[in-house]
A and B are shown apart, each in its own frame.
Chain A
Amino acid sequence: MIISVGLGEMNISPLDATRALFGIGNPSDEVIIYTLRLPRLLMALLVGASLAVSGAILQGVMRNPLSSPDVIGITGGASVVAVFLLTFLTDLATYWLPLASFVGGSLTALFIYSLAWKQGVSPLRIVLIGIGINAAANGLTTLLLILSPMYAVNQAMVWLTGSVYSSSWKTVTTFFPWALVLLSLSFVISRHLNAQQMGDEVATGIGHQVQRHRLIAVLVSVGLASSVVAFTGPIAFVGLMAPHIARMLTGPSYGRMLPIAALVGSFLVMSADLIARTAFSPLDLPAGLFTAALGAPFLIILLHRSGQKF
């Protein structure tokens, strides 16, 4: 973390960075760290944790290792709304982007959920409908990009890759309460998530109210994913990969797995952002470009080590 606040267009040594953090360093270092890098770092940590927990919840509830908010259309739905705003209502975009993409994501989730409803929702139906909606949303997004003026496309593309680069203290303080409430809520329901991943029949047998807790879990997951998308755009793969990495480290029991997933997610986004803004300096690239590049090898190494059959 200290290295992360230190490195950037202006490199600050870890020692100086630590001193600046404690307010005893060089004043210009303090300005860079406090106004630019620290909020960005905190945002990366929060976003990573939220995406990871969101994915972990979905994978358990859907009993499907491939489900995550970006696969079943939640981030896709948010993207359509956001891109529409970025390309056609550019004036509004600055202020309304977070709210609009949050609403887009949540509405999409609601839409998927109600389409899947047939005396209760079955996980497989949600996943299948979600994948369909996701494909439709991606198509719409592409259509919007093609129809829109050139200068807006670039901005939209950056947003679509997901980046924490515009984070300020204001974004951190707006996002923090959401993340805090939803993350704590997910730890509270971890017992129910354990029951959910046993499958509907076993869960009913042990006295679990399957449909009710499924709705609550999906709401928490969608809330986390949508709020992330609202502030940073859809940072890919964290929601899919971080829970898998955590599960290999701790096993599938949610009480232990969720915190580790949150840490893994935080670390992934933080490192991805560090690479994104240093490797091609002075170009400041979106973190979303590197989350997959970082996480995938790690996941593959873990898979080989544990010798699990997938």
Chain B
Amino acid sequence: MKPTLATDRLTLAYGSSPIINNLNLTIPKGKVTTLVGANGCGKSTLLRSLARLLKPRNGVILLNGKDITQQSTRKTACEMAILPQGPVAPEGLTVHQLTKQGRYPYQSWLSQWSAEDEEKVAWALEVTGMLPLKDRPVDSLSGGQRQRAWIAMTLAQDTDTLLLDEPTTYLDLTHQIEVLDLLYDLNEREGRTIVMVLHDLNLAARYAHEMIAICQGNVYSQGYPENIVTEELVREVFQLDCQVISDPVFGTPMCIPHGKGRILQHRKLTAIGG
């Protein structure tokens, strides 16, 4: 398993308080990897540092074997695209104009807009299904369409690796599935490496080849979701009692949180304590 991204004794901090301490991590190439964990566990911070949005306090981040702080940000942008959490497009910017921004790292004084740029943009609009909406302003789109427009921009960057920070936040279930299906297809058909932070543990388990559970700034466990998602993991990582069953449709692990709620008369849920 070749790593696409790896960290070596990575320490991250905001101000003086360390969030992540001496972390060693490898993210496999050509797979879908999800980072999961409770709020404030450091998963978004970790993703932000992998995306070079946050400078490491200590240690290194390797992208395809090279230290990310040693190479130009433009070269990095040709190898790895990122989609931060809740990006906002300038008012009135069309989907087509947004997607064209993805070609920024390939342009310079000498080489302006090329046929290849045009081709990649058209392709990105096509696979995200945004072609019919390409002349609409991004701010006039629905949440799901908007997220697809942003993904189109990152795809136009034509990178092997794609990092996404909670790409499904604020989307309803239909649009969550739509976005995740799109990412799944990109991985299946093009072999692109996808790394994302996801809140929904069940969807994370279903779409990911590799899951990294983060707890208090450290990797609690990493591997196939079916191997690592257990009741114990959920209790340790999320401080939540639950029952883990196998998804009746997909067979992937599915977590049913304990807690309160209506219990229908004919059900017997012995596992719920209290």
Which A residues fall within an 8 A CB radius of B? Answer: 60, 63, 191, 194-195, 197-199, 201-202, 204-209, 247-248, 251-253, 308
The answer to whether A205 touches B90, judged by C-beta atoms less than 8 angstroms apart, is no
How far is B90's CA from A248's CA once the two chains are assembled, in angstroms? Answer: 12
Mark each residue of chain B from 89 to 109: 1 if its CB lies under 8 Å from any CB of chain A, else 0.
111111001000110110100
Report if B76 contacts A (CB, 8 A): yes
User: A206-B102, A209-B73 known; A199 and B92 CB under 8 Å?
Assistant: no
Q: Tell which of B79-87, B211-219, B250-258 binds the partner.
A: B79-87
In the assembled complex, the CB of B47 is this many whole angstroms from the nearest CB of chain A, namely: 11
The answer to whether A201 touches B84, judged by C-beta atoms less than 8 angstroms apart, is yes
In the assembled complex, the CB of A181 is this many whole angstroms from the nearest CB of chain B, namely: 17
The answer to whether B73 touches A247, judged by C-beta atoms less than 8 angstroms apart, is no
Report if B88 contacts A (CB, 8 A): yes
User: Which residues of chain A have C-beta atoms less than 8 A from B81's C-beta?
Assistant: 205-206
Interface centre among A199, A207, A209, A253 (most CB of B within 10 A): A207
Q: Which residue from chain B places its CB closest to the CB of A208 in the assembled complex?
A: B104
Report if B53 contacts A (CB, 8 A): yes
In the assembled complex, the CB of B146 is this many whole angstroms from the nearest CB of chain A, namely: 13
The answer to whether B104 touches A201, judged by C-beta atoms less than 8 angstroms apart, is no
The answer to whether A251 touches B77, judged by C-beta atoms less than 8 angstroms apart, is no
A-B contacts besides A197-B90, A202-B101, 5 pairs, CB < 8 Å:
A199-B87, A199-B88, A208-B73, A252-B91, A252-B93
User: A197-B90, A251-B92, A252-B92 known; A207 and B84 CB under 8 Å?
Assistant: no
User: A195-B101, A252-B93 known; A202 and B77 CB under 8 Å?
Assistant: no
User: Which residues of chain A have C-beta atoms less than 8 A from B157's C-beta?
Assistant: 206
Report if B168 contacts A (CB, 8 A): no
Report if B66 contacts A (CB, 8 A): no
B53-85 contacts to A (CB < 8 Å): 53, 72-78, 81-84
User: A251-B92, A251-B93 known; A206 and B87 CB under 8 Å?
Assistant: no
Among A198, A199, A206, the residue within 8 A (CB) of B105 is A206
How far is B96's CA from A253's CA once the two chains are assembled, in angstroms? Answer: 11
The answer to whether A205 touches B91, judged by C-beta atoms less than 8 angstroms apart, is no
Name 24 interchain pairs, CB-CB below 8 A, sorted by A: A194-B101, A195-B104, A199-B84, A199-B87, A201-B82, A201-B87, A202-B84, A202-B101, A204-B53, A206-B77, A206-B102, A206-B105, A206-B153, A207-B74, A207-B76, A208-B74, A208-B104, A209-B74, A247-B91, A247-B92, A251-B94, A252-B90, A252-B91, A308-B92
The answer to whether A201 touches B78, judged by C-beta atoms less than 8 angstroms apart, is no
In the assembled complex, the CB of B102 is this many whole angstroms from the nearest CB of chain A, namely: 6
User: Which residues of chain B have C-beta atoms less than 8 A from A209's C-beta?
Assistant: 73-74
The answer to whether B73 touches A251, judged by C-beta atoms less than 8 angstroms apart, is no
Report if B205 contacts A (CB, 8 A): no
Q: Which residue from chain B places its CB closest to the CB of A253 in the assembled complex?
A: B97
User: Which residues of chain A have C-beta atoms less than 8 A from B94's C-beta?
Assistant: 251
The answer to whether A207 touches B87, judged by C-beta atoms less than 8 angstroms apart, is no
Report if B52 contacts A (CB, 8 A): yes
In the assembled complex, the CB of B133 is this many whole angstroms from the nearest CB of chain A, namely: 15
Q: Which residue from chain B places its CB closest to the CB of A206 in the assembled complex?
A: B104
Report if B124 contacts A (CB, 8 A): no
How far is B153's CA from A60's CA once the two chains are assembled, in angstroms? Answer: 19
Q: Which residue from chain A places its CB closest to the CB of B137 in the assembled complex?
A: A251
How far is B153's CA from A198's CA once the two chains are assembled, in angstroms? Answer: 12
The answer to whether B87 touches A308, judged by C-beta atoms less than 8 angstroms apart, is no
The answer to whether B87 touches A204, judged by C-beta atoms less than 8 angstroms apart, is no
In the assembled complex, the CB of B98 is this many whole angstroms from the nearest CB of chain A, namely: 8
In the assembled complex, the CB of B157 is this many whole angstroms from the nearest CB of chain A, namely: 6
In the assembled complex, the CB of A185 is this many whole angstroms from the nearest CB of chain B, namely: 13
User: A205-B51, A205-B154, A206-B157 known; A198 and B92 CB under 8 Å?
Assistant: no
Q: Which residue from chain A places its CB closest to the CB of B94 in the assembled complex?
A: A251
Interface centre among B52, B87, B101 (most CB of A within 10 A): B101
Q: Which residue from chain A places its CB closest to the CB of B105 in the assembled complex?
A: A207
The answer to whether A205 touches B77, judged by C-beta atoms less than 8 angstroms apart, is yes
How far is B82's CA from A198's CA once the two chains are assembled, in angstroms? Answer: 13
How far is B138's CA from A197's CA once the two chains are assembled, in angstroms? Answer: 14
How far is B78's CA from A60's CA once the two chains are assembled, in angstroms? Answer: 25
The answer to whether A205 touches B82, judged by C-beta atoms less than 8 angstroms apart, is yes
Q: Which residue from chain A places its CB closest to the CB of B83 in the assembled complex?
A: A205
Closest 5 CB pairs of A and B: A207-B77, A207-B105, A207-B74, A201-B84, A205-B82
User: Which residues of chain B have C-beta atoms less than 8 A from A63's C-beta?
Assistant: 90
How far is B147's CA from A230's CA once the two chains are assembled, in angstroms? Answer: 46
The answer to whether A207 touches B90, judged by C-beta atoms less than 8 angstroms apart, is no
The answer to whether B73 touches A198, judged by C-beta atoms less than 8 angstroms apart, is no
User: Which residues of chain A have C-beta atoms less than 8 A from B102's C-beta?
Assistant: 206
Q: Which residue from chain B places its CB closest to the CB of A250 in the assembled complex?
A: B92
User: Which residues of chain A have C-beta atoms less than 8 A from B154's C-beta?
Assistant: 205
The answer to whether B88 touches A207, judged by C-beta atoms less than 8 angstroms apart, is no
How far is B97's CA from A231's CA once the two chains are assembled, in angstroms? Answer: 38
User: Which residues of chain A have C-beta atoms less than 8 A from B101's C-beta?
Assistant: 194-195, 198, 202, 206
Q: Which residue from chain A places its CB closest to the CB of B91 in the assembled complex?
A: A252
The answer to whether B78 touches A198, judged by C-beta atoms less than 8 angstroms apart, is no
User: Which residues of chain A have C-beta atoms less than 8 A from B91's C-beta?
Assistant: 247, 252, 308
The answer to whether A251 touches B76, judged by C-beta atoms less than 8 angstroms apart, is no
User: Which residues of chain B have C-beta atoms less than 8 A from A253's C-beta?
Assistant: 93, 97
B171-192 contacts to A (CB < 8 Å): none
How far is B109's CA from A191's CA once the two chains are assembled, in angstroms? Answer: 10
